[in-house]
Structure 1
Amino acid sequence: MEIRIATTPEEKEEVYHLRYQAYVEELGWRPEDVDDANKRLHDAEDETETIYYVMDGEKMVATCRQHFGAGRLDAKTRAKYTLDKFAEFPDEEFGFTYRLVVLPEYRGTTVLIRLLLRVYEDVWKKGLRFSFCYCRPRLINVYERLGFIRYKDNFLVEEQGYMAPMLLVVDDANHLNAVRSPFLRTCRQFKPGTQNAEWFSRTFPGMRECIQMQFLEPEEFLKQWAEALEAPTTTLLHGLIPEQIQRLISEGAVMTVKAGDILLREGEAGHEMFLMLSGMARFTIETPDGSKAFLSSAGTGEVFGEISLVAHTPRTATVQAITDMEVLVITQDFIRRSMKAHPEIAIQMLYNLTVLLGLRLKNTTDRLKGALQESTKMAKALATQSKPRVERPILTPDELIEANQVTIQHVHRPSGGA
């Protein structure tokens, strides 16, 4: 593996095609600057920022773009990262990582770590204090194990979906040591201090707690979330013994979702499912006229997002938090690793998912049958009400006899005096 910086037009073109493959073809994102005709994803910042890429022999397998300094950032981007709270530091001491892509067959390998480690070395050399990025829920665990911290509320990126903002305090050796980050050795080579880490703790109190939760001992995690993990609705974990649950949750990430946040959007690509540890969510779909139709709600112990995780299909509904929620994020990568390392866990969990999907399919079928029956009744009622009345002519007794083929005795003739 070799990590390089793209400087030639040919190198950059290959990067743009790799981005298109990942963001557009795989994830279905539609950035404004996408070039479908040439299958490339490029924007103006590519001309001024540093583009890294990884080569495996003759094949480009990963890339990212690093923005050194915040001087050229627009107001919207500065607000997204809450840079006003960092006003006492010069813009030159900030870094931002964007456009990260790793080919599917290289995910779960050391490629991502190697690429970001190279970026981290350059961040140190350029004297940066803080490095920012944002990621999808399935990557939270990866970034936190590198040393990044979720320092503010999640936000929705229109063309990409629900994102978690992440911050790396570049010289925070104590934190890197606590999470066993691969960045630690490099950090120690540059003689780190403690002032930036202390400032962060004062300015963003409590933000380290969410990452500390990720590194709880499994027994402590189980104790803390006993209500959710033991709830009757927690069908995902049925049949698993405590030791197996410990292995499962150690690979997940706990994410806080604020009331009103849209966690999933109908039609977008998905690579993770969610186990609700607390709170409530609502599920809606878009109707042909563009309005939102309510499907159902879910609470503690329930699972959502499992269809996209298992079937690799777009999200079938939009999920919005009714209250503040905490969810355990479970990824496709974890399922694959479990099938190799812990097949007994994977088999039981996939069986539980099969049961869950079967029950939900039955419920959906029952609702559709009920709706169809109601629709049929209404259609019949409307047909009866709208059927035109035929004005029948008044027949003489002889005409009535002929028309109905009845005998004269069945016809009442008026008396002669009438």
Structure 2
Amino acid sequence: MGKEGLLNKENYMVPRNDEVSIHVAHSQAEKREIYKFRYRVLAEGMGKFIKKNKQNFGMISDCMDEYSQLLYAQSNLGIIGTLRVMFGNMGQFPQDLTKTFYMEKFQTLVDGSNQTFCLATKLSIEKKYRGSQVLYMLTAKAYEMIRTNHVKFTFTGCNPHLIPLYEQLGFRKFSRNFTDPGYGLLVPLIMVVEDVEHFRAVRSPFYRVARELSNDNQWGQAFLHAFPEAARYINSQLIRKDDLWKIVTKKLGESPLAAVPLLAGLSQDESAVLLHSGVVVTCYEADCLVSPGEVSNEVFILLTGALLTDSAGVQRLIQPGESFGGTGLTEPRPQYATISAAADSEVLVIPRQGFERFCRRQPQAGHQIIRNLRLTMPVGMHPVRLKAVKGGMGRE
């Protein structure tokens, strides 16, 4: 069994008297409102570094918008969410993306050179609606369009702290990370559109829809045959808590209780629950995990390899067991150092959303984690503030 679902029914609620509907933008006026919404959410709300110019100031748009379907969620308040999906054969996508997602290799898995792929990007949701049904409604509409266009493989990329969310939708890690200017380190993900058994295993919200359609299991098998390395990536929705504890122990070479200062004062069970709220991510030499000014939404724990931190010209190596990035564990906070991989490494990423769920169940342990973060925080970083979290965690 996997961990508790991020998209279960209790998370589908929206505020009362707030009707939400999903639309596909057709007019230029609709598209401009989407571009403005992206800017408010991604640049102003999430601190993404978007290159500005006189033509697009206050908006986020690029050349792919011209060839994509722009979905948006509308409520009484206006646009509250949007998602872009682009359909086409390999030659219609930007060359750098075809290389990043190995589209040529995927094309050999199907008959004919005109195989339609889908690239899903620019997912943005108004803050008060995150954790509501809006995400499901947008992605369900996208999945419906994907099936209508007879797509076998859908690609996307996300920041490490969002991997558990995408893995529950049915995406999987399969390749090396890449960097998109303004968005930071991104992990490439693939959805095998007709792999109903995988949807069932991760409890994807698409499972009930997909099982009623005609599906061919060969695509899931073909994917694993072409990308055998994908099987070594740990899926956050499939790994058991106790199994993850054993894996982390093996990677660290000793119990996490002894190796990870962040866990000081916690029991093994509390620590195992906390680690299980995260995801193991592989990063490669020269990958930049954190840049100055980037907004943090997670804490990283180094498991293997070595990372280099550079703060105002002062450099040091981060060793296995050490944590960093924890300023964003209770609220989005900017980072003040550059942290990059000095060698191929593995980190365990605990998203803020996962930590907040942990605190609601185990408030005292959550309180201890915040204390530990304060003690282990590098010089020059903002102090972590205790934030009121449902379940009893309060301010000092």
Q: Which range, TM-score by smaller chain?
A: 0.7 to 0.9
Do the aligned partners of 1:35 and 1:41 also contact (CA within 8 Å) in 2?
no
2:287 to 237, 255, 261: 261
Residues 1:152 and 2:152 aligned together: no
2:364 to 313, 325, 344: 344
Instruction: Give distance in 1, aligned partners of 2:220 and 2:276.
Output: 26
- State the match for 1:61 in structure 2: 80
1:334 to 354, 357, 366: 354
Q: SS at the partner of 1:40?
A: coil
Q: With structure 2 as the length reference, what TM-score do the two structures score?
A: 0.83
Q: SS at the partner of 1:66?
A: strand
- Tell me which amino acid in the other structure corresponds to 1:19: R
2:245 to 215, 222, 235: 222
Aligned-pair identity (%): 28
Q: With structure 1 as the length reference, what TM-score do the two structures score?
A: 0.79
Larger radius of gyration: 1
- State the match for 2:44 in structure 1: 25
- State the match for 1:99 in structure 2: 122
- Tell me which amino acid in the other structure corresponds to 1:176: F
Do the aligned partners of 1:282 and 1:319 also contact (CA within 8 Å) in 2?
yes
Larger relative contact order (Cα-Cα within 8 Å, sequence gap ≥ 6)? 2
Q: SS at the partner of 2:22?
A: strand
Residues 1:108 and 2:134 aligned together: no
Do the aligned partners of 1:214 and 1:253 also contact (CA within 8 Å) in 2?
no
Matches within 5 A, 1:168-207: 168-207=191-230
Instruction: Report the aligned-residue RMSD.
Output: 2.4
Do the aligned partners of 2:303 and 2:321 also contact (CA within 8 Å) in 1?
yes
Q: Cα gap change, 1:95/1:254 in structure 2, threshold over 3 Å: closer, same or farther?
A: same
Q: SS at the partner of 2:334?
A: coil
Instruction: Give distance in 2, aligned partners of 1:279 and 1:241.
Output: 26
Q: SS at the partner of 2:64?
A: helix
Q: Which runs of 5+ in 1 are unaligned?
A: 287-292, 365-418
2:319 to 286, 299, 306: 299
- State the match for 2:302 in structure 1: 276
Instruction: Give distance in 2, aligned partners of 1:211 and 1:121.
Output: 28
Q: Cα gap change, 1:180/1:10 in structure 2, threshold over 3 Å: closer, same or farther?
A: same
Matches within 5 A, 1:34-49: 39-49=58-68
Instruction: Give distance in 1, aligned partners of 2:94 and 2:245.
Output: 44
Instruction: Give distance in 2, aligned partners of 1:214 and 1:188.
Output: 19
Cα offset for 1:202? Answer: 0.7
- State the match for 2:35 in structure 1: 16
Q: SS at the partner of 2:233?
A: helix
Counting matched residue pairs gives 356
Matches within 5 A, 1:65-104: 65-70=84-89, 71-88=91-108, 89=110, 90-104=113-127
Q: SS at the partner of 2:364?
A: helix
Instruction: Give distance in 2, aligned partners of 1:153 and 1:91.
Output: 26
Instruction: Give distance in 2, aligned partners of 1:33 and 1:362.
Output: 29
Q: Which runs of 5+ in 2 are unaligned?
A: 1-19, 383-396
Do the aligned partners of 2:84 and 2:121 also contact (CA within 8 Å) in 1?
yes
Cα offset for 1:113? Answer: 2.2
1:294-327, Cα deviation, whole Å (9 max, x unpaired)? 4211111110111244463322111111222111
Do the aligned partners of 2:262 and 2:323 also contact (CA within 8 Å) in 1?
yes
- State the match for 1:410 in structure 2: none
- Tell me which amino acid in the other structure corresponds to 1:3: I
Do the aligned partners of 1:97 and 1:133 also contact (CA within 8 Å) in 2?
yes
Q: Cα gap change, 1:105/1:10 in structure 2, threshold over 3 Å: closer, same or farther?
A: same
